[in-house]
Structures are given as structure tokens and as C-alpha cells.
Amino acid sequence: MTRTYQGEITTGRLVEAVMLFRGMSFEEFANAIGEHPMNVYKLLHGRRRITQEMAVKMAKALNMNPLLILQGCSIEFCNK
């Protein structure tokens, strides 16, 4: 399934895009970070705050730098 986004790249959208790029479902990602899938949904859609600890768990599961999650990402940076 291909998803396209309009508007700004939020931290949740960045994490979701990487998750989907890596071929992970919400359930697989939730298991990898030790959270319930509904909590992952809330985190990715801005209904729960992403803490430093959670950002590190997410980054580890996605094999990415946690600073990208903690600081967010501009479109220019992501396209480099």
C-alpha cells in the first residue's frame, strides 16, 4: 500500500514512513518497542507525546538515529 502525505512532515509521519519502508506493520512495530498497537497509533498521530525513552526504543526498532525522532525532520533534510 502506498501512502502520500500532504502538509508538514511530523515526527509521527516520519516514524510511520520509516516503519512502512522497512515493511513493518503497526503490530510488529508495537511488539518491537514493547507497546500496545493502539498506543503506537496514538504516538504516531500526535495523541501521545514521544518521550526520549520512547524515541530511543523506536529508533532501535527502525535502525535509525534517535535524534531524527527527537528533533523531527524537515523535508529538506530528509531528501538529502
CA distance 25 to 71: 24
> DSSP label at 5?
-
Mean pLDDT for the stretch of residues 2-17: 74
Residue type, 51: T
* pLDDT of 64 above 70: yes
| Mean pLDDT (the chain, rounded) | 82
- CATH superfamily of the domain spanning 11-74: lambda repressor-like DNA-binding domains (1.10.260.40)
**pLDDT for the residue 79:** 42
**pLDDT for the residue 13:** 86
Per-domain boundaries in the chain: 11-74
The three three-digit cell numbers of residue 41, written as one number = 497509533
Of the pLDDT bands very low, low, confident and very high (cuts 50, 70, 90), residue 77 is very low
